[in-house]
Structure 1
Amino acid sequence: MFKGEKVFESEKSIKYLFQKSYSKTNSLVIIFSAFPTKGKQPAYNFVRTLSEFDCNKLFILDDFGSRASYYLCEKRDFSIERSVISLINFIIKENEIDHVISCGSSKGGYAALYYGIKYGFDHIIAASPQYYLGDYLLDQTNSQDVTLFMSGLSADEDHQFLNEIMPKMIDETQSKPNIFIHLGKDEPHYENHVKPLLAKLNEVHINYELDLGDYSKHSDVGKFFPTILKDNIRTLLHYPSLEITQSTNGKQPIGSQCTFEAKTESEKNKIAWYVFRENDRVEMKNYSTDHTLSVTFDHVGKYYVKAFAINSLKHKVSVSSEEIEVY
């Protein structure tokens, strides 16, 4: 079990991880997961990627069937979807949320689009999503195990049923979320899934932004999307940027010093610092407009610092430095 994982009991039991904002923000980022690597169990995606943001984050696990259900259905019964949206509505109500972003890549991108469009979320950030599930599961990946769980009838009927889920939902919706879609310009997904999706969005007058990367493998979305996801969330929710530079790294003798500098987009952003030795906090510096920290290593051990940046909106991010081993 993932640390902090909980189970929401509804028609189906939904496993999830909710990370509440310490700053009590009123926005929620929902993260849907992609297919797990073959031979591995379903997992939460982008937990580490989004760890720098002090915002409300809801990671939802799709561990139904043999590998996945697209957060939708079992034998055409959409009790999984009803349970997932019940969880989302519970989190929204309990935390007084009034701004929702859904995100994910591949299968997670499909789910982010499906839930974001159907339930009227404010923003959707999707990478290389599928659109025609029947084509993808039966023709392109031979995922009959997933198809059998979700649809469970003859192959022809399954194919049509799965292909129609997203188009039918878009035809019926009244919501107009802001949509951002990223994928490689030479990925097969672009021709097979994203172009038909964009045609449907154009048909119903839902605006979108398309971002094409210079790559051709579907798996490469894992290399490019994390940074794009962070940049989009930072822009949408008005979080500061933050990175750390340091004057030394690697192995250093006892008594040596290192100067750390926090790089952020505004000198008005305030910076706080924690210094860790062997994962124990040994020093701290409260928020100020001084963006540097000098540390003298007076004990043997492994050190790193963590910087926090907060802007005028009280939105906070944090990042950690590279480790320094003192001998």
Structure 2
Amino acid sequence: MSDQTRPSRPVVEGRDDSGPVPVEYRFSHARNGTRHLVVVFANFSARDEYGFSNGVLDQVRANILWIRDLFDGGNTYYLCKDMDFGVERSVAALIARFAHALGLTADQVTMFGGSKGGTAALQFALRHGWGNALAVVPQFRIGTALHERRPAAAALMMGQVTPEKIAALDTVMPELVAGTPHRHTNVYLVTSPQDEHYGRQVAPFVDLFRDYPNFNLVFNDSPLITGHDTVTARTLPPIMGLLNLLVAGIAPRLGQVRTGGEQPGRDTAPIDALLAATERFPRPRVDFPAPGTTVPGHAVALGGLAPARPGSASG
């Protein structure tokens, strides 16, 4: 999801230097004292490397912590530089410090992001035991995704890009999902068959969640989705619905559900006829000027018929 403008809700910007790597962030207080923290991770096209910072979260009542994925001038999946995972440790420490300062328990914290931000949401929730992960179109084979599509990020994260390092990063997420002790995290994974990453980056790994008590797969098969970059926008209403439920302390159990199903080319003649027959104020008929006719600006004349309102006396 491409961000266009800064959020209108008040934010504080800061930098935490307590870990091995400095981490930049933005923070916005909850409305009316809501006891929840949403941690937001960025996708590759996020403005200023802060995800969902275009105002879409303005009405979310939680405390919101946006974490910037910009380390030494590049993106890192919030994981590593030159295979040193100090980035992950620093980000994890920052999240823990905010949750502690707010006096929140693990179940009052939601990790949220799309694309590489969705991968990060799963990574931090499952590695550190936070209550909820809302992950939109994540990638599970990080090394492959970097090597094939993001050479600059691959060089930053791996140093010298080698098959061994690609394979090592490819195992990070599958091994975490299969081996984490934090299976009681509520996981919401949003995906689509129209995402070109789906077949290689998501589908082979869904079964790793089979033992999770509350794993939910939201599958959007909308014909209006044209690829990876459009899934979030086409699924935004249910995504925001889920996020607001989690903030309210409600963790729904959806299982595997489908959304989409639009029919953009469907014939609207029947509903148009119904509207025309029951319209409260019938549309006027314009006889002249004809549609598309250029008329002088100083003298415009209109002619036609305005039907009487149903039930009123005709003149």
TM-score, structure 1 as length reference? 0.66
Aligned 1:1-327 pairs, distance under 5 A: 4-10=12-18, 11-36=20-45, 41-98=48-105, 99-139=108-148, 141=149, 143-176=150-183, 177-202=185-210, 204-205=211-212, 207-213=214-220, 214=222, 215-238=225-248
Alpha-carbon distance in 1 for matches of 2:161, 2:187: 34
DSSP 3-state at the match of 1:188: coil
Query: Aligned pairs, how many?
Result: 234
Alpha-carbon distance in 2 for matches of 1:5, 1:45: 16
CA drift of 1:69 comes to 0.3
**Which residue of structure 1 aligns with residue 287 of structure 2?**
none
Please provide the CA RMSD for this pair: 2.2
Alpha-carbon distance in 2 for matches of 1:5, 1:158: 34
CA drift of 1:47 comes to 5.0
Runs of 5+ consecutive residues of structure 2 not aligned to the other structure? 1-5, 250-315
User: Contact 1:31–1:46 (CA<8 Å) still a contact in 2?
Assistant: no
Alpha-carbon distance in 2 for matches of 1:106, 1:171: 20
More helix by share: 2
CA drift of 1:74 comes to 0.8
User: Contact 1:106–1:130 (CA<8 Å) still a contact in 2?
Assistant: yes
Alpha-carbon distance in 2 for matches of 1:119, 1:205: 16
CA drift of 1:41 comes to 4.5
Specify the code of the residue in structure 2 equivalent to 1:71.
Y
DSSP 3-state at the match of 1:18: strand
Alpha-carbon distance in 2 for matches of 1:85, 1:97: 15
User: Contact 1:16–1:58 (CA<8 Å) still a contact in 2?
Assistant: yes
Looking at CA atoms only, which structure, 1 or 2, has the larger radius of gyration?
Answer: 2
DSSP 3-state at the match of 2:76: coil
User: Contact 1:113–1:124 (CA<8 Å) still a contact in 2?
Assistant: yes
CA drift of 1:54 comes to 2.3
Specify the code of the residue in structure 2 equivalent to 1:55.
A
DSSP 3-state at the match of 2:32: coil
The superposition leaves residues 38-80 of structure 1 with CA deviations (integer Å, 9 ceiling, x where unpaired) of xx74234245111112211111000124530000111111111
Are residues 205 and 233 of structure 1, via their aligned partners in 2, closer, same or farther at CA, if it must alter by over 3 Å? closer
Alpha-carbon distance in 2 for matches of 1:225, 1:108: 16
User: Contact 1:49–1:226 (CA<8 Å) still a contact in 2?
Assistant: no
Specify the code of the residue in structure 2 equivalent to 1:220.
T
More strand by share: 1
Alpha-carbon distance in 1 for matches of 2:54, 2:129: 24
